[in-house]
């Protein structure tokens, strides 16, 4: 059985009726630290749409929510699933929060919820509001950040998101805003079990170790969740009970995936997805997602980079082996599709890429 081909088929079902929320649910969240990468991740899974459709789903339809998701990083999540996500994420061990006591965390989260209810604030406005509600101690500038110091309360921002009282709002000019989605987290036990089932549907077979890494959670916690859900052991780990079907052969086709695409970040074992030279060229110390990747037949076979100037999109691709005529034609189709999604005029070049990760 080819589990990697199964994962790819579940991430890219090629369903013209799928909505942006359907696509993001199938991915178990779209990484959105770089918004253009999230737009590409979603657009490449929705035939014919552009980045405008993603923005409309997020800001007009409100079927997507931009918030802190797995690993405490910015993600787009389906609004319909936010109670499940917050229920699961809010029961994770908090990790290292060395500037706030547990009681202070509760006070900060409550203050954030009050400050953001029925409004959207930029971070400086939120600084003032949280400090006014929680007390002057919350505004102590003791948090190291980018060669400056931030107020103490900001160390709990991701926890406020996980508890359902903070999400990103529409930008105000070039400034990020925050708002309160007013979501009541689902029951922790049912939420974490449902999140594991969805994770295994998208990424299985998997192990508690890989699930813990995907969430940035303790392995002991992930192991307990595995014990709470009806699962089935197969070669390579665990899947949901009864969900054992997989293709016999490899995936076919050529794809370009952006930074931190969910398929690349969540797929394990890494050695199968990044064989041979791909391990050295497309990973950063074993961490996936730092480079946009070229997939050929479901396997990382190169890296790529895009540079925009006005409507022009220069897309450079560095394959790790020579491409045949069929692969070159499919690569050209992917480049055209990226141009369509990003509303630009693409130009493809093939050769060595000299820029590093995140460039």
pLDDT at 358 over 80: no
pLDDT (0 to 100) of residue 14: 82
For residues 204 and 243, is the Cβ–Cβ distance under 8 A? yes
* Tokens, residue 91: 């029961």
Q: Could you tell me the pLDDT band of residue 285, with boundaries at 50, 70 and 90?
A: confident
The domain of 129 spans 3-179
- The residue among 121, 146, 179 that closes a domain is 179
pLDDT at 57 over 70: yes
pLDDT (0 to 100) of residue 356: 81
pLDDT (0 to 100) of residue 324: 97
- The residue among 146, 179, 212 that closes a domain is 179
Whether residues 166 and 311 share a domain: the answer is no
pLDDT at 359 over 70: no
Instruction: Provide the number of structural domains found in the chain.
Output: 2
Residues with Cβ within 8 Å of 115's Cβ and at least 6 positions away in sequence, in order, are 121, 126, 129, 130, 133
pLDDT at 260 over 90: yes
Q: Could you tell me the pLDDT band of residue 71, with boundaries at 50, 70 and 90?
A: very high
Q: In angstroms, rounded to a whole number, what is the distance separating the alpha carbons of residues 237 and 210?
A: 10
Quote the mean pLDDT of the chain.
95
Q: Is residue 243 part of a domain?
A: no
For residues 222 and 285, is the Cβ–Cβ distance under 8 A? no
Which of these ranges, 49-58, 141-150, 158-167, has the smallest mean pLDDT? 141-150
pLDDT (0 to 100) of residue 223: 98
Q: Is residue 57 part of a domain?
A: yes
Whether residues 163 and 259 share a domain: the answer is no
In the chain, what percentage of residues exceed pLDDT 70?
Answer: 100
Q: 91: phi > 0 → left, psi -120 to 50 → alpha, else beta; which?
A: alpha
Q: Could you tell me the pLDDT band of residue 290, with boundaries at 50, 70 and 90?
A: very high
């Amino acid at each position: 059985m080819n589990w990697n081909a199964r994962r790819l088929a579940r991430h890219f079902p090629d369903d013209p009726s799928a909505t942006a929320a359907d696509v993001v649910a199938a991915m178990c969240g779209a990484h959105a630290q770089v918004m253009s990468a999230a737009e590409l991740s979603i657009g490449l899974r929705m035939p014919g749409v552009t980045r405008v459709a993603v923005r409309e789903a997020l800001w007009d339809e409100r079927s997507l929510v931009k918030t802190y998701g797995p690993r405490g990083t910015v993600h787009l999540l389906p609004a319909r699933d936010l109670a499940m996500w917050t229920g699961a994420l809010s029961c994770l061990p908090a990790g290292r929060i060395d500037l706030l006591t547990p009681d202070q965390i509760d006070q900060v989260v409550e203050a954030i919820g009050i400050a953001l209810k029925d409004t959207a604030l930029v971070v400086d406005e939120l600084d003032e509001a949280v400090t006014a509600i929680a007390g002057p101690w919350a505004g102590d500038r003791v948090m190291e950040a980018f060669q400056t110091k931030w107020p103490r309360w900001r160390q709990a921002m991701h926890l406020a998101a996980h508890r359902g009282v903070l999400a990103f709002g529409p930008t105000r000019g070039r400034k990020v805003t925050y708002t309160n989605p007013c979501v009541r987290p689902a029951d922790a036990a049912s939420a974490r079990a449902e999140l594991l089932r969805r994770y295994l549907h998208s990424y299985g077979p998997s192990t508690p170790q890989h699930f813990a890494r995907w969430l940035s959670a303790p392995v002991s916690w992930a192991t307990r969740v595995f014990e709470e859900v009806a699962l089935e052991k197969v070669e390579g780990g665990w899947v949901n009970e009864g969900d054992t079907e997989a293709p016999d052969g490899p995936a076919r086709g050529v794809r370009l995936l952006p930074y931190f695409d969910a398929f690349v970040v969540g797929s394990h074992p890494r050695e199968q997805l990044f064989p041979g030279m791909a391990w050295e060229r497309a990973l950063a110390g074993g961490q996936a997602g730092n480079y946009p990747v070229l997939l050929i037949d479901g396997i990382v076979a190169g890296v790529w980079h895009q540079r925009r100037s006005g409507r022009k999109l220069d897309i450079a691709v560095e394959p790790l082996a020579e491409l045949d005529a069929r692969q070159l034609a499919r690569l050209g189709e992917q480049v055209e599709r990226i141009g369509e999604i990003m509303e630009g005029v693409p130009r493809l070049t093939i050769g060595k890429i000299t820029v590093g990760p995140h460039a």
